[in-house]
Structure formats: C-alpha cells, structure tokens
C-alpha cells in the first residue's frame, strides 16, 4: 500500500478520543465505533492509493497533486451524503469548482470515475 496502514490512523484517533485528564480516562470508544472507523479509513486509504496511481500515470505538475487529492476527498464526502440525481448534481458543481481552479478536465474525469466506482463497491 502506498498509504500508511489504516490501523495506525484508527489507533491515533482512539488515543485522541480516549485522552486522559488528571490521570483518568474521560470516555471510551465503543468497539462498533472503532470498527466503523477502521472500515472508513481502509476505504479512504484504498482511494488515495488509486488517486496516486492515476496522478503517476498522467503526470500533472506536482504542486497540483494536493488539489487533485482534495477533489477526490470532496467527491467521497458527497457519496456518503447523497444518492441519485442529487449526487450527480453536486458532483457536477464540485467538478466545475475545481475546473475553475485550473485543474485538467481529463484528470478530474479519471479521478471522478475511480472514486465513484470504488465507493459503490463498498456501499
């Protein structure tokens, strides 16, 4: 995997959530919450790896890689919130926003297709 192990992200989140105050732990993360987070982080790590591969094949300017990753994250967030026509409308709006920021349409289309297909496998 190109991205760090998702379990490290989960462990870091649990340590922050279960932070001790005056030597006592204020709250404890439930096993269901930890499992849900692990699933989400695994999906996001898989998508980030795919985006890195797409960017490696298309070779845009390196300084724009962060923008392409942010576009993919924004599409992933929309997939978790919306379905159907509303999702397509929102994705179109987000794509127009990133096109206005001078990103290449062909790369955005590849990223959009990849994120939509990978997310629907899991959903």
* Topology adopted by domain 8-16+29-122: Methane Monooxygenase Hydroxylase; Chain G, domain 1 (1.20.58)
Q: Assign 22 a pLDDT band (cuts: 50, 70, 90).
A: low
pTM equals: 0.77
CA dist., res. 13 & res. 11, Å (int): 5
Q: Are 11 and 46 contacting, i.e. CB atoms less than 8 angstroms apart?
A: no
Residues 26-44 pLDDT 10s = 777 788 888 888 888 888 8
Average pLDDT in the chain: 84
pLDDT confidence of residue 1: 43
pLDDT confidence of residue 122: 37
Arithmetic mean of pLDDT, 57-86: 90
CA dist., res. 86 & res. 115, Å (int): 17
> What is the Cα 13 distance to its own chain's centre?
16
Arithmetic mean of pLDDT, 32-58: 86
HEC-encoded secondary structure of the chain: CCCCCHHHHHHHHHHHHCCEECCEECCCCCHHHHHHHHHHHHHHHHHHHHHHHHHHHHCCCHHHHHHHHHHHHHHHHHHHHCCHHHHHHHHHHHHHHHHHCCCCHHHHHHHHHHHHHHHHHHC
Q: Where are the domains of the chain?
A: 8-16+29-122
pLDDT confidence of residue 97: 94
């Amino acid at each position: 995997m190109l991205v760090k192990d998702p379990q490290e992200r989960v462990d870091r989140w649990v340590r922050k959530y279960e932070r001790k105050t005056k030597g006592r732990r204020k709250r404890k993360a439930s096993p269901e919450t930890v499992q849900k987070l692990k699933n989400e982080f695994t999906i996001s790590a898989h998508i980030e790896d795919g985006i890195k591969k797409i960017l490696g094949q298309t070779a845009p300017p390196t300084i724009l890689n962060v923008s392409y990753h942010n576009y993919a994250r924004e599409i992933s967030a929309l997939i978790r919130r919306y379905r159907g026509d509303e999702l397509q409308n929102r994705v179109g709006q987000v794509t127009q926003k990133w096109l206005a920021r001078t990103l290449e349409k062909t790369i955005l289309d590849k990223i959009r297709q990849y994120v939509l297909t990978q997310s629907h496998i899991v959903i």
